[in-house]
Amino acid sequence: MLEACNVSKIVRGRKLIDHVSFEVYQGDICGLLGPNGAGKTTMIRLLTGLISPTAGELRVNGIDVRQHRRKALLELGAIVESPIFFPYMTGRKNLLNLARLHPNLPAGERKRRVEEVLQTVGLTEAADQKVKTYSLGMKQRLGIAQALLGKPKVVILDEPANGLDPMGMRELRELIIRLRDQQGLTFFISSHLLDELEQMCNRLVVIQKGRLIWQGRMEGLSRNDVWVFTVRQVDRALAVLAGKVTVKKLSSTKLEVQAGEEEVGEINRLLMQHNVQVSGIEKKQKKLEDIFIELVSS
């Protein structure tokens, strides 16, 4: 649904995006990760046709953004940075005005479509309140309603949870997952809130200094699982495993070992052969934050 092919963006001799290629598939909720200054917003501006690439190709649902910009962007809904509305107008009036500008919406369909998207994002009851009275979470949901007006197949969101409280973030996350599950929408979401992305994304694209450093499904991000071994002779266990696996002492009785599931039994046997008593083995969930820091630090 989204494709970047060897894309570069150079501004005043500086490479903001450097030969980046990735794919996002139908029904994905794909996170775009990277440290500050990595090029995330530049990449989103390229995908939404706000700026043109210096080199490479960008496609939305197979349509080249540079060659057929209008046709490609009709497949797309987006919030780039913060959604902006007229604060003195109601939520409904703002959407009606935006619907008038949308080439996918004939005059006879605008009101019906506005009511549909208001219901979808849970703003029907607040639709006749002025936007200046909306909470930040309500404004974000109104922004998503605006992005949905033209019935896009792909929705791009740039830092959608910025400034939201925990309840607002949860509501936003549940809305995105529901739209994917019920309407088959594909999402491409830039965010620095790794816990949020971990809870909703099935795919990630990671960039650093304008370069792609990893892309793929969430389950493929960490090659090795992390296991906690509870042992009696922790220093002897460290000596036995040194050089064979990545191992770290956690306490006087616990070791952290990085290994594939098929290797755990062999590690246990090896420790027992060296008279190290193992009283427990527990799989530890590796957090996205830890994996991300490993990726950008390597």
Encode the chain (298 residues) as per-residue pLDDT tens digits.
999 999 999 999 999 999 999 999 999 999 999 988 899 999 999 999 999 999 999 999 999 999 999 999 999 999 987 788 999 999 999 999 999 998 889 999 999 999 999 999 999 999 999 999 999 999 999 999 999 999 999 999 998 888 888 888 899 999 999 999 999 999 999 988 888 888 899 999 999 999 999 999 887 776 557 899 999 999 999 999 998 998 999 999 999 998 888 899 999 999 999 999 999 999 876 677 777 777 777 6
CA distance 44 to 20: 13
For 26, the domain range is: 2-220
Measured from the Cβ of residue 292, the count of other Cβ atoms closer than 10 Å reads: 21
State the CATH number of the domain containing residue 285.
Answer: 3.30.70.100
Judge if 103 and 192 occupy the same domain.
yes
Q: Are 150 and 102 in contact (CB under 8 A)?
A: yes
pLDDT at 80: 87
pLDDT at 224: 59
Which DSSP letter does residue 290 get? H
Which residues, at least 6 apart from 50, have a Cβ–Cβ distance to it below 8 Å? 80
Judge if 30 and 120 occupy the same domain.
yes
Judge if 205 and 238 occupy the same domain.
no
Judge if 104 and 29 occupy the same domain.
yes
pLDDT at 112: 96
> Cα angle at 2 between 18 and 73, to 5 degrees?
105
Which residues, at least 6 apart from 277, have a Cβ–Cβ distance to it below 8 Å? 231, 232, 233
* Amino acid letter for position 35: P
Judge if 169 and 32 occupy the same domain.
yes
Burial of 260 (0-12, 13-18, 19+ CB in 10 A): exposed
Judge if 190 and 81 occupy the same domain.
yes
Q: How many domains does the chain have?
A: 2
220, 238, 265 - which closes a domain? 220
Judge if 99 and 8 occupy the same domain.
yes
State the CATH number of the domain containing residue 33.
Answer: 3.40.50.300
Judge if 212 and 235 occupy the same domain.
no
pLDDT at 222: 60
pLDDT at 218: 82
pLDDT at 247: 92
Judge if 64 and 152 occupy the same domain.
yes
pLDDT at 59: 97
pLDDT at 42: 95
pLDDT at 286: 67
Judge if 112 and 249 occupy the same domain.
no
